[in-house]
Amino acid sequence: MLSESPKLRGQFDFGVVDYVTSDTHFGHKRISELAERPFSDVEAMDAELVRLWNEVVPPDAVVLHLGDVALGPIDRSLELTAQLHGRRFLVPGNHDRVSSATQSKRAIERFRPLYEDAGWVVLPEMLRGERHGRPLLASHYPYRGDSRETERHQRHRPVEEGLPLIHGHTHDRDRGADGRQFHVGVDAFGYAPIPFAVIDEWLRSL
């Protein structure tokens, strides 16, 4: 039985995760322009993100979301995510209202119930653990790379020490692997979560 947050001896148990994704940006009116998404407006984007997610993810699956789940009017945006299949875990990104990197403690206390009411289990902003005996890190932020020319949030990025890292944040259209980091964002994978088996294959190749 899955506990409130899947941990194993103080570490995250990546073995329970079936799918991974990031940077959905539900409710964000400008993200189609900024990330060159093929949607006419935010309503069309939100509807397609929900459809694609539920087409890919079974209701009983476990999904790890690596940040920037929703923007815009946050109560309405998060309400949309309640439609998503699966047991959903969130590693906060810079745009999430529960990110200690960008939000005050007071703001986090205010907004956390909205995320929980929408079905999200909010996790720490850096996860360290194993997947089938292989070490793995997860964060919204990559070791290197950004959606802008300047690399932001340097204080909150993981330090590269040779461990493989899965991440979001960049909105890169390149699929996945870049050395020892792997971008899982929806902009690289058809606007839907990816099976963790994709990550397993990458880990075996390292």
Domains and CATH numbers, the chain: 11-205 (3.60.21.10)
pLDDT on residue 4 = 52
Distance in angstroms (rounded) separating the CA atoms of residues 180 and 126: 16
- Separation between Cα atoms, residue 184 and residue 38, nearest integer Å: 19
Poorest-pLDDT segment among 3-7, 48-52, 152-156 = 3-7
> SS3 for 204?
helix
Of 182, 164, 158, 162, whose CA–CA distance to 172 is shortest?
A: 182
What tens digit of pLDDT does each residue of 100-127 get? Answer: 889 999 999 999 999 999 999 999 999 9
- For all residues of the chain together, what is the average pLDDT? 90
Q: What is the pTM for the complete model shown? A: 0.91
Looking at per-residue confidence, does 146 or 39 come out higher?
A: 39
Q: How confident is the model at residue 3 (pLDDT cuts 50, 70, 90)?
A: very low
Q: How large is the average pLDDT for residues 178-185? A: 93
